[in-house]
């Protein structure tokens, strides 16, 4: 779990200035993620047009190696998913 925390922290360090806000949501936050079955849901409100998959390539590989594929969800500020992320997620940027 410590390795996973470090990966998420690295993601958070890469996002300032590129996103308005970003959240970790879903089973990982709820404490019921299962490697090989669950994914890592990251909700991003972009500030700039960026290829987040390329930006986070190393972290994505590390998550895949941990058996937790990332699901990067780009939303705008009017998204209902963003409202839910603000209520139930963990802000990472």
Which residues does residue 44 pair with via DSSP β-bridges, in sequence order?
A: 22, 74
Question: β-pairing, 70-74 with 40-46?
Answer: parallel
**Domains of the chain in sequence order:** 2-91 (3.30.460)
In the chain, pLDDT over 70 holds for what percent of residues? 100
- 30 alpha-carbon distance from chain centroid: 14
On average, the pLDDT of the chain sits at 94
Q: How far is CA 60 from CA 8, 54, 67, 73, 86, in A?
A: 10, 9, 11, 14, 23
Low-confidence ranges of the chain (pLDDT < 50): none
Comparing CA positions, the residue from 51, 75, 50, 53 lying closest to residue 64 is: 53
């Amino acid at each position: 779990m410590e390795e996973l925390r470090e990966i998420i922290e690295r993601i958070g360090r890469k996002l300032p200035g590129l996103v308005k806000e970003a959240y970790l949501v879903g089973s990982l936050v709820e404490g019921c993620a299962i490697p090989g079955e669950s994914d890592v849901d990251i909700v991003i409100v972009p500030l700039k047009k960026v290829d987040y998959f390329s930006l986070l390539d190393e972290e994505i590989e590390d998550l895949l190696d941990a058996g937790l594929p990332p699901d990067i969800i780009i939303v705008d500020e009017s998204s209902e998913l963003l409202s839910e992320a603000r209520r139930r997620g963990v802000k990472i940027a």
